[in-house]
Amino acid sequence: MQVSSHSSFTAVIIGGNGAGLSAASKIKRLRPSARVLVFEKGPHVSYANCGIPFWLAGDVPQNNLILLSPETLQQKRGIDVFPRHEVIAIDRRAGAVQVRHCETLREFKVAYDRLLIATGARPRLPDWAIAEAENVFTLRDLQSGQALKQALSGSLNRIAVLGGGYLGLEMAMVFRRRGLETVVLEQAARILPGFHEAISAHVQAYLERQGVTVITGLQPGEPRYQGPRLQSVRLSPEGRNIQADGFFMATGIVPNVELAQTAGLQLGSSGAIAVDDTLRTSDPRIFAAGDCIEVRHRMTDEPVWLPFGPAANKQGRIAGANMAGERQRYAGALGTSAVTIGELEVARTGLTLPEAQRRFNPVEHVFVQTQDIAGYMPGEKQATVVLIFRKRDGRLLGAEMAGFHGIGKRIDVLATALQAGLDVRQLAELDLSYTPTIAPVWDPILIAANAAVKKLSV
Amino acid sequence: MQVSSHSSFTAVIIGGNGAGLSAASKIKRLRPSARVLVFEKGPHVSYANCGIPFWLAGDVPQNNLILLSPETLQQKRGIDVFPRHEVIAIDRRAGAVQVRHCETLREFKVAYDRLLIATGARPRLPDWAIAEAENVFTLRDLQSGQALKQALSGSLNRIAVLGGGYLGLEMAMVFRRRGLETVVLEQAARILPGFHEAISAHVQAYLERQGVTVITGLQPGEPRYQGPRLQSVRLSPEGRNIQADGFFMATGIVPNVELAQTAGLQLGSSGAIAVDDTLRTSDPRIFAAGDCIEVRHRMTDEPVWLPFGPAANKQGRIAGANMAGERQRYAGALGTSAVTIGELEVARTGLTLPEAQRRFNPVEHVFVQTQDIAGYMPGEKQATVVLIFRKRDGRLLGAEMAGFHGIGKRIDVLATALQAGLDVRQLAELDLSYTPTIAPVWDPILIAANAAVKKLSV
Residues of B in contact with A413 (CB under 8 A): 409, 412-413, 415-416
In angstroms, the separation between the Cα of residue B61 and the nearest Cα of chain A is 8
- Do the Cβ atoms of A408 and B406 come within 8 Å? yes
Residues of B in contact with A443 (CB under 8 A): 310, 412
- Do the Cβ atoms of A331 and B429 come within 8 Å? yes
* Helical residues (DSSP H) of B178-326, grouped into ranges: 197-209, 258-262, 309-323
In b/e form, how buried is each residue of B292-313, taking b as 16+ CB within 10 angstroms?
A: bbbbbbbbbeebbbbbbbbbbb
- Do the Cβ atoms of B311 and A431 come within 8 Å? yes
CB atoms within 10 A of CB A328: 16
- With a cut of 80, say whether residue A288 has pLDDT above it: yes
Residues of B in contact with A416 (CB under 8 A): 413, 416-417, 420, 422, 430
Rounded CA separation B295/B307 (Å): 10
How many helices (H) and strands (E) chain B has is answered by 12, 25
- Do the Cβ atoms of A415 and B426 come within 8 Å? no
- With a cut of 70, say whether residue A307 has pLDDT above it: yes
DSSP A225: E
pTM above 0.90, yes or no: yes
Q: How confident is the model at residue B150 (pLDDT cuts 50, 70, 90)?
A: very high
- Do the Cβ atoms of B310 and A437 come within 8 Å? no
- Do the Cβ atoms of A411 and B433 come within 8 Å? yes
pLDDT at residue B6, as a whole number: 46
- Do the Cβ atoms of B438 and A50 come within 8 Å? no
When CB atoms are compared, the residue of B334, B426, B434 closest to A338 is B434
**pLDDT, tens only, B442-453:** 999 999 999 999
pLDDT at residue A6, as a whole number: 46
pLDDT at residue A3, as a whole number: 37
**Which residue of chain B comes nearest to A47, CA vs CA?**
B376
Residues of A in contact with B432 (CB under 8 A): 310, 336, 409, 412, 415
* SS3 state at A32: coil
Q: What is the dihedral of CA A369, A375, A381, A382, to 10 degrees?
A: 10
**Which residue of chain A comes nearest to B450, CA vs CA?**
A314
Residue count of chain B, please give it. 458
**pLDDT, tens only, B163-196:** 999 999 999 999 999 999 999 999 999 999 999 9
- With a cut of 80, say whether residue B267 has pLDDT above it: yes
**Which residue of chain B comes nearest to A334, CA vs CA?**
B431
Closest CA to B174 of B149, B146, B196: B149
**pLDDT, tens only, B62-85:** 999 999 999 999 999 999 999 999
| Mean pLDDT of the B3-17 span | 78
* SS3 state at B115: strand
What is the average pLDDT score of chain B?
A: 95
- Do the Cβ atoms of A434 and B54 come within 8 Å? no
Rounded CA separation A129/A63 (Å): 32
| Mean pLDDT of the B18-37 span | 97
- With a cut of 50, say whether residue A5 has pLDDT above it: no
- With a cut of 70, say whether residue A4 has pLDDT above it: no
For chain B, give the percent of residues with pLDDT over 90: 95
Residues of B in contact with A331 (CB under 8 A): 429
**pLDDT, tens only, A403-452:** 999 999 999 999 999 999 999 999 999 999 999 999 999 999 999 999 99
In angstroms, the separation between the Cα of residue A32 and the nearest Cα of chain B is 19
| Mean pLDDT of the A69-75 span | 94
Residues of A in contact with B430 (CB under 8 A): 412, 415-416, 419
DSSP E strands in B203-288: the ranges are 213-216, 219-226, 229-236, 241-243, 246-249, 253-255, 286-288
**Which residue of chain A comes nearest to B439, CA vs CA?**
A409
> A183 and A244 in contact (C-beta within 8 Å)?
yes
Closest CA to A438 of A395, A356, A374, A383: A374
Pairing of strands B121-123, B253-255: antiparallel
- Do the Cβ atoms of A336 and B431 come within 8 Å? yes
Residues 6+ apart with CB under 8 A from B27: B11, B34, B36, B320, B321, B323, B324
- With a cut of 70, say whether residue A10 has pLDDT above it: yes
- Do the Cβ atoms of B340 and A410 come within 8 Å? no
pLDDT at residue B265, as a whole number: 98
Instruction: Report, as residue numbers or ranges, the catalytic residues of A.
Output: 50
In angstroms, the separation between the Cα of residue A284 and the nearest Cα of chain B is 25
- Do the Cβ atoms of A413 and B417 come within 8 Å? no
Residues 6+ apart with CB under 8 A from B118: B13, B14, B15, B17, B18, B19, B20, B23, B288, B289, B290, B292, B312, B316, B319
CA distances from B246 to A156, B162, B289 (A): 58, 11, 34
| Mean pLDDT of the B269-295 span | 98
**pLDDT, tens only, A353-410:** 999 999 999 999 999 999 999 999 999 999 999 999 999 999 999 999 999 999 999 9
**pLDDT, tens only, B91-145:** 999 999 999 999 999 999 999 999 999 999 999 999 998 888 999 999 999 999 9
Rounded CA separation B190/A306 (Å): 46
| Mean pLDDT of the B277-302 span | 97
The verdict on whether B50 is a catalytic residue reads yes
Residues 6+ apart with CB under 8 A from B159: B175, B180, B181, B182, B183, B244, B245, B246, B247, B248
**Which residue of chain A comes nearest to B331, CA vs CA?**
A429
In angstroms, the separation between the Cα of residue B448 and the nearest Cα of chain A is 14
> Lowest mean pLDDT: which of A15-24, B64-73, B272-281?
B64-73
Evaluated on CA atoms A264, A266, A269, A270, the torsion sign reads: negative
- Do the Cβ atoms of A443 and B310 come within 8 Å? yes
pLDDT at residue A114, as a whole number: 98
In angstroms, the separation between the Cα of residue A436 and the nearest Cα of chain B is 6
Residues of A in contact with B436 (CB under 8 A): 48, 50-51, 54, 340
When CB atoms are compared, the residue of B18, B308, B432 closest to A310 is B432
Beta bridge partners of A111: A96
CB atoms within 10 A of CB A393: 10
- With a cut of 50, say whether residue B5 has pLDDT above it: no
Residue to mutate among A22, A318, A349, A412, with most B CBs inside 10 A, is: A412
In b/e form, how buried is each residue of B409-428, taking b as 16+ CB within 10 angstroms?
A: bbbbbbbbbbbbebbbbbbb
Closest CA to B51 of A439, A377, A381, A406: A377
For chain B, give the percent of residues with pLDDT over 70: 98
In angstroms, the separation between the Cα of residue B49 and the nearest Cα of chain A is 10
Q: What is the ipTM of this complex?
A: 0.95
* Cα R_g (chain B), whole angstroms: 23
Burial class (CB in 10 A: 0-12, 13-18, 19+), B132: exposed
| Mean pLDDT of the A270-298 span | 98
pLDDT at residue B341, as a whole number: 98
- With a cut of 90, say whether residue B3 has pLDDT above it: no
Rounded CA separation B123/B257 (Å): 13
Residues of A in contact with B435 (CB under 8 A): 50, 337-340, 345, 408
- Do the Cβ atoms of A349 and B431 come within 8 Å? yes
Closest CA to A445 of A401, A408, A395, A382: A401
